Every structure is written in C-alpha cells, then in structure tokens.
C-alpha cells in the first residue's frame, strides 16, 4: 500500500488490462489524437533539447509517441528506448517504428518506478501524458534521476484539470452522469492527477532535480464532427465502464447521442470542431 492506501501492484495490473484492452482503439484514433498532440510533442522535445546522437528514454510510449518523433531527431547514431507496461500498446509502437524504417528505436515492457537501466546512461528522459498514472511518481522520478547522466534533462507533459481537457473528460462525464457515478477519490493516479504545476515542480525538486519549470502548453483537437468526437469518446472508455454502461444502455447508442450533443459546444466556422485542452510542459535538470 502507498500513502493513499492504494495497492500499487493491483493498480498496475488493472492499468495493464485497461491499456491492453484499448490498444486497438488507440491505434484506430492515432491520426486524430496525434494531429492535436503535435504541439505538445514539439514542446516536449524542445524542452528536452533532444539532438543528434542522443540516448533518449521515453516513459509511457503507448502506441509509439513521442518516442518515434524523438527517433527522427537523434538520427542513426542515437537511440530511443520507449517503455510501457502494456504489451499490446508496445506491439503497435514496434509496428509503427518498422513502417517508418526507424532502426534506432527499441520498445520494452518496463516499470518506470524500477528502471532497469545503468546509472547515467540516458541523455534525456521524456514523458507525454503518462507520469500521472504512476502509483508512486516520486519513486519513478528518483529512478529517472539515477538513469540520467549529469546535466541530463527530464521533460514531461501532463494534463491540466478535467474541465480543462474536454477531449478526454467530456465523454466520461456524460457517461458518469448517466450511471450516477461520483468523482474518484482524491489523491489517486489518473489523467488529471498532476494538474497542479506547483505540486509537480516540488515533486521534481524533491527527487533531486534543479532548474525546474512548468509552462502552460495549450493544444487544440479537431474532430471532424460532433459524431466523430462521440465515437472517439465511446471507443476509448475502459472495458469495465463499457460493461456498466451496457447494462443501462445496450450498445451505448443513447449515450453516444448525448456525448455528440454535448460536443456541439465546440462547433466552429472552420469546419472541424475546435476542442481546446490545457497541458503543462515540465522541465528539470539533473545537476552536474
């Protein structure tokens, strides 16, 4: 049990089941998500000062990003190791790497809290929307600190609060309301658990990092329509929640319509929806 009473091993096992179960759907929606995420990926790689020949660790690679973007910057003399605990997600990342002809990437199942890397072996560590899911984030940050060379950089992107990230939270909130679900207990890992940048920068400093900073990183997702937004939202519900919903709305048809109706808030004269979301770009340095 950790300080919040969470059984970390059980939580990680459940996370693996959820992410593996959603791997094909994340693959399906890769283009939509990555088109919106591109600005955050660019900010992340710039903060990490990724350059030719670097050795990069990507924590929580999922279906491949931002490891694949980093691989194009480090070139054939560099190396990118992407880690995740969801084997099915990593299988997609490997496929994408092969399709891009990248010979400098490697994807491995590994727990960020217990990195199996030699001390000082990494030039930079990057993480995009994954640190928030770690049961013991301080332990993971200390583990990354050890793996980095002196002067190495940890750069990460984390989400703002749920209302600030409607691309992920709106559909879930509609489903939760239909099921009469309350808010999850405070302090548990989840997509919005690092929405307080001051808390996260303190955590980084306590892990031994210096020159710690957090900057607002706004991005915009552009689903083609409210219906596409609803399809995205419903596809990416975890299996346990789909099962609960199916008990009250078989197939989720009524709920899908409700999500689409809510998404019309983001209608735009430009054609596609404009769904603004807030992230924070974090940067921290291991002292020399």
**pLDDT at residue 275, as a whole number:** 98
* Assigned domain for 71 exists: yes
**pLDDT at residue 128, as a whole number:** 98
Handedness of CA 146, 151, 154, 160 (dihedral sign): positive
* Assigned domain for 229 exists: no
Distance between CA atoms of residues 77 and 59, nearest Å: 21
* Assigned domain for 189 exists: yes
Tokens at 124, concatenated: 């930079």
Question: Secondary structure of 128-166 in the HEC alphabet?
Answer: ECCHHHCCCHHHHHHHHHHHEEEEEEEEEEEECCHHHCH
**pLDDT at residue 132, as a whole number:** 97
DSSP the chain: --TTS--HHHHHHHHHHHHHHHHHHHHHTHHHHHHHHHHHHHHHHHHHT--TT-EEEEES-TTSTTHHHHHHHH-TT-EEEEEES-HHHHHHHHHHHHHTT-SSEEEEE--GGG--S-TT-EEEEEEES-GGG-TTHHHHHHHHHHHEEEEEEEEEEEE--GGG-HHHHHHHHHHHHHHT--PPPTT--STTTT--HHHHHHHHHHTT-EEEEEEEEEEEE--SSHHHHHHHHHHTS-HHHHHHHHHHSGGGHHHHHHHHHHHGGG--TTSS--EEEEEEEEEEE---
Distance between CA atoms of residues 55 and 123, nearest Å: 5
Other Cβ atoms less than 10 A from the Cβ of 97: the count is: 22
* Assigned domain for 169 exists: no
* Assigned domain for 249 exists: no
* 23 backbone dihedrals φ, ψ, rounded to 5°: -60, -45
**pLDDT at residue 78, as a whole number:** 98
Tokens at 30, concatenated: 């890769």
pLDDT along the chain (288 residues), means of 10: 74 95 97 98 98 98 98 97 98 98 97 96 98 97 98 98 97 94 84 96 98 98 98 96 92 95 95 97 98
Tokens at 90, concatenated: 């990593």
**pLDDT at residue 4, as a whole number:** 56
Distance between CA atoms of residues 59 and 52, nearest Å: 20
CATH number at residue 91: 3.40.50.150
Tokens at 209, concatenated: 């990092």
Number of compact structural domains in the chain: 1
From first CA to last CA, the distance across the chain in angstroms is 34
**pLDDT at residue 170, as a whole number:** 97
**pLDDT at residue 6, as a whole number:** 84
* 114 backbone dihedrals φ, ψ, rounded to 5°: -140, 70
* Assigned domain for 30 exists: yes
Count CA atoms within 13 Å of residue 144 on its CB side.
37
Domain span at residue 214 reads 8-162+185-219+277-285
Question: Secondary structure of 202-224 in the HEC alphabet?
Answer: HHHHHCCCEEEEEEEEEEEECCC
Directed axis angle between helix 67-74 and helix 30-48, to 10°?
A: 50
Residues written for the chain: 288
* Assigned domain for 237 exists: no
* Assigned domain for 258 exists: no
């Amino acid at each position: 049990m950790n300080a919040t009473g969470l059984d970390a091993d059980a939580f990680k096992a459940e996370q693996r089941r959820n992410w593996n179960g959603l791997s094909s759907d994340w693959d399906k929606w890769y283009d939509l998500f990555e088109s919106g995420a591109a600005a955050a990926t660019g900010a992340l790689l710039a903060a990490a000062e990724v350059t030719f020949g670097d050795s990069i660790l990507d924590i929580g690679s999922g279906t491949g990003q931002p490891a694949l973007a980093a691989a194009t910057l480090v070139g054939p003399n560099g190396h990118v190791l992407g880690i995740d605990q969801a084997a099915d997600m990593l299988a997609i990342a490997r496929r994408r790497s092969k399709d891009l002809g990248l010979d400098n990437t490697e994807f491995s199942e590994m727990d960020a809290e217990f990195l199996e890397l030699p001390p000082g072996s990494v030039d930079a560590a990057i993480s995009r929307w994954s640190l928030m899911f770690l049961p013991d984030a301080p332990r993971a940050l200390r583990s990354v600190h050890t793996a980095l060379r002196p002067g190495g950089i940890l750069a990460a992107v984390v989400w703002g609060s749920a209302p600030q990230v409607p691309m992920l939270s709106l559909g879930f909130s509609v489903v939760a309301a239909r099921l009469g679900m309350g808010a999850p207990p405070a302090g548990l890992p989840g997509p919005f658990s690092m929405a307080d940048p001051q808390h996260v920068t303190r955590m980084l400093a306590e892990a031994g990092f210096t020159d710690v900073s957090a900057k607002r990183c706004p991005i915009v997702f552009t689903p083609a329509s409210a219906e596409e937004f609803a399809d995205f939202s419903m596809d990416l519900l975890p299996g346990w929640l789909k099962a609960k919903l199916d008990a009250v709305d078989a197939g989720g048809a009524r709920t899908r319509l409700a999500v689409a109706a809510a998404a019309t808030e983001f209608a735009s004269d430009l054609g596609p929806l404009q769904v603004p979301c807030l992230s924070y770009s974090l940067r921290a340095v291991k002292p020399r």
